[in-house]
Amino acid sequence: MSPATKLIIVIVGLLSIAYAVWYFLPWSMSHRENMMQSGSLNIPQFSAIALQGREIFNENCAKCHGENAIGTNQGPPLLHNIYNPGHHGDNSFLRATESGVRQHHWPFGDMPQQPQVDKDQVFSIVRYIRELQEANGIFYQRHQM
Ligand code: HEC
C-alpha cells in the first residue's frame, strides 16, 4: 500500500468518527425529552382542582412550559426535579406569576409576569403540576445550599 493510500484511509476514518460524535451527541442529550414525548410520561387521575389548573395552565403557561409541562424552546419543563416542592415551593409559582422571573436556571430568557392569572388560579396550577410531578417520580427533596 502506498503512503498516500494509507493517509487517505486514516483521514476517512477520522472523518467518520467525527461525524458519528456530531450525530449522536445531540441525540443522547435530547433522548430524555424524546422519551417523555413518546409516551413514557405518566398522566395521573387528576383531582378536580388539578383539572381546573390544567386548563388554566394550558391557556397561560403551556406556550412556554409545554403541554404536560415538559418544556418548549421558550421555557423550561416544570416537570423537572429542580421544581420539586422542596426547591421551588408553591409560593415560587405565585411569585413567578405576579412578578415574572429573571433568567437564572436556564438559557430561555426572563419569564414575563402573568397578571391575568389570579392567586386562586395559581394554586390550582400548583395542584396540577404537583400531581403531574408525583406521577412521574418527582417528590419533595429538602433544598440544600
Ligand atoms: C413567555 C414564556 C413563559 C410563560 C408564558 C410562562 N413562563 Fe414560567 N418561566 C419561563 C422561563 C423562561 C422560566 C425560567 C427562568 C430561569 O430560571 O431561567 C420560567 C420559570 C418559571 C418558574 C420557576 C420560578 C423560579 O423561582 O425559578 C415557575 C414556577 C413558572 N415559570 C411558572 C409559570 C406559570 C404558572 C405560568 C403561567 C401562569 C408561566 N410560568 C408562564 C417562561 C414562561
Give the pLDDT confidence score for residue 105 in this predicted structure. 93
101 Cα–ligand 1 center, Å? 6
**C-alpha separations of 22 from 19, 33, 130 in Å:** 5, 19, 37
The residue nearest atom 41 of ligand 1, judged by CA position, is 61
Residue range 70-76: mean pLDDT, rounded: 95
Give the atom of ligand 1 at the shortest distance from the alpha carbon of 121. Answer: 38
Is the pLDDT at 66 greater than 90? The verdict is yes
Contacts of 117 (CB under 8 A, 6+ apart): 56, 60, 97, 125
State the pLDDT at residue 31: 46
Provide the pLDDT for residue 26: 52
Cell of 126: 400548583
Query: Residue 69 above 50 pLDDT?
Result: yes
Contact 61, 55 (CB under 8 A): no
User: What percent of the chain has a predicted confidence (pLDDT) above 90?
Assistant: 74
Segment 39-62 shows an average pLDDT of: 95
Q: Is the pLDDT of residue 25 over 60?
A: no
Give, for ligand 1, the residue of 82, 101, 118 to mutate: max count of ligand atoms closer than 8 Å to Cβ. Answer: 101
Specify the higher pLDDT residue, 3 or 52: 52
